């Protein structure tokens, strides 16, 4: 059923434009309509400019930076076609999930991508610490943590990069804020006093910048007990007047809409009564959750 709160501002990672997506973009958007979404933001991964930042499946396919750029350009063309074709059934936004590599120039790359493709918006996510990927596998995570000198320094560096990303990229949506929880779980390290201090600083920046903080339910399909971010962060964000949104972070038809209702319940349980959706017009609209 179509209900106003059924929104996803980050997802639609599709197999025709990403080596680790499964289904093509059009069937994913048809699934979004069938699920009853009112707004669906498609956010292909931004192309990375150097092959040292490629993911395993891209290396396997002998990809070059030029191939990633071509995939992204083709993605925008197809997404714009579908945005028009399905306009009477679903508000589709065409965006990108940007990366923070290379650390020296990711802001310039994100700004160029936005302008070159006239993107509706950007999701800012951190998947790399010290230019090492950490959410790709347990062993990648362990390697990145070891190179940072242990879990706490890793987490503090991670949140420093999130703060930098927010200041340098100005994304409309901040992606999966505590994604290291994928491998850390709910251990005390995720909410130590120094970590809380950094998270509070980030939430102030998100609120001041008028950005949307996503509740990303991909954590639930990956076996975690709560979406990103953890409920203590949701509560602090709520108290800091941060605006929330919802995301399924889908990479297949099956994942479109999965657990979004749980995300809504999670927000309500944590005292959040509304979410915000971006509009093609560029405005954000508040939507009651009940």
Contact positions toward Zn ion, by CB under 5 A? Answer: 13, 125
Q: CB neighbours of 135 closer than 8 A, spacing ≥ 6?
A: 127, 141, 179, 180, 182, 183
Q: Given the complex with Zn ion, which of 98 and 234 has the nearer CB atom?
A: 98
Residue nearest to Zn ion (CB): 125
Q: Given the complex with Zn ion, which of 174 and 287 has the nearer CB atom?
A: 174
Measured CA to CA in angstroms, residue 82 lies from 1, 75, 253, 269 at distances of: 21, 10, 16, 35
Q: CB neighbours of 63 closer than 8 A, spacing ≥ 6?
A: 19, 51, 54
Q: Given the complex with Zn ion, which of 170 and 192 has the nearer CB atom?
A: 170
Q: 153-159 — which CB contacts under 8 Å span 24+ positions?
A: 154/129, 154/180, 155/180, 155/184, 155/189, 155/190, 155/192, 155/195, 156/194, 156/195, 156/198, 157/129, 157/130, 158/126, 158/129, 158/134, 159/195, 159/198, 159/199, 159/202
Q: Given the complex with Zn ion, which of 239 and 254 has the nearer CB atom?
A: 254
Q: What angle do CA 27, 121, 265 make, to 5 degrees?
A: 65
Cα separation, 184 vs 273, whole angstroms: 29
Give me the least distance between CB of 273 and Zn ion, in Å please: 27
SS (H, E, C) 217-248: CHHHHCCCCCCECCHHHHHHHHHCCCEEEEEC
Q: Given the complex with Zn ion, which of 21 and 257 has the nearer CB atom?
A: 21
Give me the least distance between CB of 73 and Zn ion, in Å please: 18
Q: Given the complex with Zn ion, which of 124 and 287 has the nearer CB atom?
A: 124
Give me the least distance between CB of 75 and Zn ion, in Å please: 13
Give me the least distance between CB of 104 and Zn ion, in Å please: 21
Give me the least distance between CB of 255 and Zn ion, in Å please: 11
Q: Given the complex with Zn ion, which of 91 and 249 has the nearer CB atom?
A: 249
Give me the least distance between CB of 178 and Zn ion, in Å please: 12
Cα separation, 139 vs 144, whole angstroms: 9
Q: Given the complex with Zn ion, which of 49 and 125 has the nearer CB atom?
A: 125
Give me the least distance between CB of 175 and Zn ion, in Å please: 5
Least Cα distance to 128 among 54, 189, 234, 235 occurs for: 54
Give me the least distance between CB of 113 and Zn ion, in Å please: 16
């Amino acid at each position: 059923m179509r209900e106003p709160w059924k929104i996803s501002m980050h997802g639609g990672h599709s197999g025709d434009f990403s080596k680790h997506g499964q289904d093509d973009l059009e069937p994913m958007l048809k699934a979004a309509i069938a699920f009853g979404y009112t707004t669906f933001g498609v956010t292909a991964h931004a192309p990375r400019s150097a092959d040292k930042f490629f993911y395993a499946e891209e290396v396997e396919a002998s990809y070059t930076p030029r191939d990633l750029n071509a995939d992204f350009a083709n993605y925008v063309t197809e997404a714009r076609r579908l945005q028009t074709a399905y306009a009477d059934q679903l508000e589709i936004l065409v965006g990108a999930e940007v990366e923070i590599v290379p650390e020296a120039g990711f802001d310039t790359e994100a700004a160029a991508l936005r302008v070159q493709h006239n993107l509706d918006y950007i999701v800012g996510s951190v998947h790399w610490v010290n230019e090492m990927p950490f959410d790709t596998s347990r062993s990648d995570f362990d390697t990145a943590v070891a190179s940072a000198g242990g879990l706490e320094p890793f987490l503090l560096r991670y949140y420093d990069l999130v703060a930098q990303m927010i200041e340098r990229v100005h994304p409309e949506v901040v992606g999966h804020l505590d994604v290291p929880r994928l491998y850390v779980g709910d251990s005390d390290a995720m909410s130590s006093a120094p970590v809380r201090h950094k998270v509070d600083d980030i939430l102030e920046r998100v609120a001041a910048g008028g950005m949307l903080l996503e509740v990303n339910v991909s954590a639930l399909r990956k076996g975690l007990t709560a979406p990103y971010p953890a409920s203590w962060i949701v509560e602090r964000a709520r108290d800091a007047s941060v605006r929330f949104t919802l995301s399924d972070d889908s990479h297949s038809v099956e994942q479109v809409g999965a657990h979004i209702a749980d995300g809504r319940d999670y927000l309500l349980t944590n005292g959040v009564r509304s979410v915000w959706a971006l509009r093609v017009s560029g405005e954000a609209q508040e939507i009651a959750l009940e």
